[in-house]
Structure 1
Amino acid sequence: MFKTDLIEDCKKGKRKAQLKLYNKYCDAMLRIAMRYLKQQDLAEDAVQEAFIKAFKHIDSFSGDVTFGAWLKRIVINQSIDYCRQLKYYDPIDENKLEMIDEERNSWEVEDQLTTADVENCIENLPENYATVLKLYLMEGYDHEEIGEILNIKANNSRILLHRGKNELKKHLKTLKHERFA
């Protein structure tokens, strides 16, 4: 059965179609939720809630993007909502805003460092930095989209990205010196 047929059947309230879509996307969505929540049980809860919301509002799915992309956004928003509820997310003080020149900082890291090293370092950053880095680097959202997701200004997203990037560089340099000294 094609995805469009499954989606149409879901819009009609057919449980078998919902189960098929769930089975098709649940593992990928769980991996996404784990990036933000870091605990299996919380991530599973967030994914379940996201699927409930998705099926409840499936009529709003227009097909402008793939179903997976639409669902991914719901999962990310649900995961971030869970973080906020658990007080993991600490927004920056908007009175201390400053303009950041993103082009002056490069994203280059040492060749010896792996993707896993970078991901582990991101996990050790303060949650507000880690969240913006994940949304920007891993999910591919721009600052306006990140602002909408986190309910902050796009400029705040830029600042958090800049600060997160600087913290990440410090962690990566420390890791490099520990490992390759």
Structure 2
Amino acid sequence: MKKNDWIHNIQQGNKEAFRAFYEAYADYAIRTASAITRNREMAKDAVQETFIRVYRQIGSYNPELPFDPWFYRILTNECLRLLKKESPLSKYEHPDLENEASLAVESFDHLSDLYDTIQALDDGHRIPLILKYVKGFTEKEIADILGLNHNTVKSRLFKGRKRLKEQLDLIDKEERSQ
């Protein structure tokens, strides 16, 4: 079933269509929410609440607009809402990396460094990077999702990439000096 068919059927109250939609989107949503919240359990809560909101608000969705930015805007807002409620200690929890056992040790170390470095960025730079390079959204879609000016998104992506490169260069220097 195509996405537009799911949406139309969900708008008509078809629960099987919603179940199929959930099964198709849940894993992607949890990975995105984990990257935003830095906490797998919080991510699961955000995704659950997101699907509830999507179900309740699907009637307000305009099918002439792309669906993914609408969906991920709800998901991102839910993640940010939960982050505002979190305790200061939970910032240091990291979600489990999926399939880490299947990665070679050397590539895992580089992936782990990259992941840790991305997670260490502030939300203003980390979230646009995730939406751009993990989820593949355009800068305009990211601006819509986050409710920001397009130029602000471009600036945050530029600065986020710059900070990421600086941190990865430091890690490389440390590894070479050992």
The normalised TM-score by structure 2 is 0.69
- Classify 1:69/1:115 alpha carbon distance in 2 versus 1 (closer, same or farther; 3 Å): farther
- Supply the distance in 2 between the matched residues of 1:144 and 1:128 (Cα, whole angstroms): 16
Unpaired segments ≥5 residues, structure 1: 89-111
Partner AA of 2:56 in structure 1? K
State how 1:64-75 maps to structure 2 within 5 Å. Answer: 65=66, 70-75=70-75
> d(CA) in 1 for partners of 2:54 and 2:121?
31
Structure 1 residues 140-179: aligned runs within 5 Å? 140-179=136-175
State the shift of 1:173 in Å.
Answer: 0.8
Aligned length: 156
Q: Does 1:120 align with 2:116?
A: yes
Distance 1:179 1:49 in 2: 42
Seq. identity, %: 26
Match of residue 135 from structure 1: 131
Alpha-carbon contact 1:54-1:71 (below 8 Å) kept: yes
Relative distance call for 1:25 and 1:86 in structure 2 (3 A) is same
* Bigger share in helix: 2
Structure 1 Cα separation of the partners of residues 112 and 69 of structure 2? 24
Q: Structure 1 residue 168: deviation in Å?
A: 1.1
Query: What is the SS of the residue equivalent to 1:57?
Result: helix
User: Would you say the 8 A contact 2:124–2:156 is kept in 1?
Assistant: yes
Partner of 2:13: helix, strand, or coil? Answer: coil
1:54-133 equivalence runs, <5 A: 54-59=54-59, 60-62=61-63, 65=66, 70-84=70-84, 86=86, 114-133=110-129
Q: Is the 8 A contact 2:33 2:76 kept in 1?
A: yes
- Normalised to the residue count of structure 1, the TM-score between the two structures is 0.68
Where do 5+ consecutive residues of structure 2 fail to align? 89-106
Question: Which structure would you say has the larger RCO, counting Cα contacts within 8 Å and 6 or more residues apart?
Answer: 2
The Cα shift of 1:130 comes to: 1.1
Question: 1:33: which partner in 2?
Answer: 33
Q: How far 1:86 sits from its partner (Å)? A: 4.9
Which amino acid in 1 is paired with 2:127? Answer: T
